[in-house]
Amino acid sequence: MKKINISLGKRSYKIIISSDRFNDICSFLPLRPGDNAMIITNQTLSPMYLNKFISLMKKSKIEVDYITIADGEQYKTLETINYIIGILLKRSHDRNTTLISFGGGVIGDITGFVAAIYQRGVRFIQIPTTLLAQVDASVGGKTGVNHMLGKNMIGAFHQPISVIIDTNFLLSLPPREFSSGLAEVIKYGIILDASFFQWIEKNIDLLMALNKDTISYCISKCCELKADIVSNDEYDFGRRSILNLGHTFGHAIEAHMGYGSWLHGEAISVGIVMAIRTSERLGQFNTKDINRIINLLQRAKLPIYGPVEMMSKDYLPYMIRDKKVISGKLKLILPSSIGVAEVKNNIPYELVLDVINKCQNIC
């Protein structure tokens, strides 16, 4: 078992990483007998785990309730938020209730946002069950939902009180979902740690084969890297922005194609390729490193070309509405070498559109 601390003063919390500990999960929950909890999960996980989870909670004398919602990015909406809040009110849950997110990134974002706004804020716990959520989405307190005009445009910063990761949940994860999570893993190497990127290159086959020790190290390393960033820039005013490598492009794909059509990591994979090609055009990234990144994404079974249904001009409305755009000036996260990235301002739209156009066909 590994513990990683997110240092945020009174809002500090621990990420606990283990394997095959679901039967003992209540010993990790920062709850006491008599506490009230509401589990929020989805229709995919519910048949596999919910009854057992409720039974374990009751044995620990925790007053437990649950909500099951539909599974998928297309349900990350204000309508779902309203539905959950309605149930909380009807069942008389007050500010002493702790919400428990039990699922992937969508469930985590939804639960966190409800926790941020219900009765002006309640506690919540993250129990992420997908690779993407375990290495990225569950850590750092970003919560929210999508709007038809843009991804994650409605939300709030609201930190969990604990993140509990059991790597055994990944054994039931569909291969496509696992690959989606690897996009965020690869991202960490590109922007923060060249030696970790090299480690991923060496161990990608073991990761794809769900080797227990390899996966545990990978998740721990990603959480350590993100913990350091979040602890020093909780509200995304500075260095935390580099965690959005590829996201300006990728969010455009997700929104335009319809949420859920492309998985988040799939869209981010293409976004990473577009970002490094933009960096190349600006003369700050070399062809050898570009080829290494593209090869690794392909080995992870991730796409490197944009959707054939999208033209370069289709990206622009979403990119202009991106949260990093200020006064109409485009900002992108661009690497200068593997392990080093920075925010670049005033990127010419014409250059970006040309890169997107080329990445629709060959990268």
The DSSP result for 59-127, as a single string, is HTT-EEEEEEE--SGGG-SHHHHHHHHHHHHHTT--TT-EEEEEESHHHHHHHHHHHHHGGG---EEEE
Which helix (H) or strand (E) element contains residue 310? none
- Topology of domain 181-359 in CATH is Dehydroquinate synthase-like, alpha domain (1.20.1090)
pLDDT confidence of residue 30: 96
341 has a pLDDT exceeding 70: yes
Domain 2-172 has CATH 3.90.660.10: no
If pLDDT is split at 50, 70 and 90, which confidence band does 112 have? very high
Q: What's the average model confidence in pLDDT over 58-70?
A: 97
280 annotated as a binding-site residue: no
Answer yes or no: is 142 a known binding residue.
yes
pLDDT in tens, 283-300: 999 999 999 999 999 999
Q: Work out the average pLDDT over 114-125.
A: 98
pLDDT at 324 exceeding the cut of 80: no
Question: Please, are residues 273 and 265 in contact by the beta-carbon 8 Å criterion?
Answer: no
Condensed to tens digits (0 to 9), the pLDDT of residues 248-295 reads 999 999 999 999 999 999 999 999 999 999 999 999 999 999 999 999
Instruction: State the Cα–Cα distance between residues 116 and 143, nearest whole angstrom.
Output: 8
Residue span(s) of the chain under CATH 3.40.50.1970 come to: 2-172
CATH 1.20.1090.10 domain position(s) in the chain: 181-359
pLDDT at 268: 98
Q: Note the pLDDT of residue 323.
A: 67
Q: Is residue 321 scored above 90 in pLDDT?
A: no
- Nearest Cα to 218, choosing from 246, 192, 182? 182
SS3 345: coil
Query: Residue 246, annotated ligand binder?
Result: no
Position 329 pLDDT exceeds 80: no
Q: Binding site annotation covers 65?
A: no
CA angle 297, 202, 218 (to 5 degrees): 80
Average pLDDT, the chain: 95
Pick from 70, 141, 139: which is nearest to 107 by CA? 70
User: Per the annotation, does 41 bind a ligand?
Assistant: no
Q: Does the annotation flag 107 for ligand binding? A: yes
User: Tokens 């939902």 identify what position?
Assistant: 145
Q: What is the mean pLDDT of residues 114-140?
A: 98
Is 105 flagged in the annotation as binding? yes
264 is in an annotated binding site: yes
Is 188 annotated among the ligand-binding residues? Answer: no
